[in-house]
Amino acid sequence: MSRLCRTEAPAAGICTGTAAWGAAAAVGASALLAASETAFTALKFAGAGYMAWLGITMFLKSFREGSRPGAEAIAGAPGIRTNWLSGVTTSLLNPKVGVFYMAMIPQFLPADAPPLLMGALLPLVHNAEAMLWFAAIIVATHRARRWFQSPAVGKATDRVAGVFLLAFAAKIAATRA
């Protein structure tokens, strides 16, 4: 299994989750998030909890003796399925993605087109654009891989990313619908 496939899997997972949100918006299910503050709040706190767990895990892992961030990219890293599921979970636990699709998709539906078909196709266009963006990021980081895999840079990156994830989780949990 190549390292590149392992980095593409979370991006594909995020796109899978956004496609699911797009399909939900196309059938009107994401309207529940806008109509029900309870549903939005529950999903918001689930997403914030997941993000906090990711942040704490990254931050604490960077302090382990002998840990070498980036080494897991070489051996022992989670497989493609696990990385894909991480991307899907991140996307599906973000209620703002559902609200975004619910607000945006209806504006772009042609009057003479079946809403379900177009509602499913528009997220696929969005995903194609996202995959181009993710590909650019993946290629750039692979070019800088040796620098990113140095122990000092890896630990600093994990610590900073962990703190930011915790801050984002707190902000998500504290914001109102």
Render 118-162 in DSSP notation, one character per residue.
HHHHHHHHHHHHHHHHHHHHHHHHHHTHHHHTSHHHHHHHHHHHH
Report residue 105 as tokens.
């998709």
CB 99 within 8 A of CB 30: yes
Q: What is d(CA 37, CA 152) in angstroms, rounded to the nearest whole number?
A: 44
Angle at 15 between CA 14 and CA 19, to 5 degrees: 120
| Main-chain phi, psi angles of 111, to 5 degrees | -60, -35
**Closest among 74, 70, 72 to 150, alpha carbons compared:** 70
CB 134 within 8 A of CB 5: no
Q: Taking the CB of residue 146, how many other CB atoms lie within 10 A of it?
A: 9
Please give the chain's pLDDT, 177 residues, in tens: 455 566 788 889 999 999 888 888 777 766 676 677 887 788 788 878 888 888 888 888 888 866 555 545 444 567 889 989 989 998 888 877 877 877 777 777 777 877 778 777 888 898 899 999 988 988 898 888 888 788 888 889 889 999 998 998 888 888 876
pLDDT digits (tens, 9 = 90+) for 6-37: 678 888 999 999 988 888 877 776 667 667 78
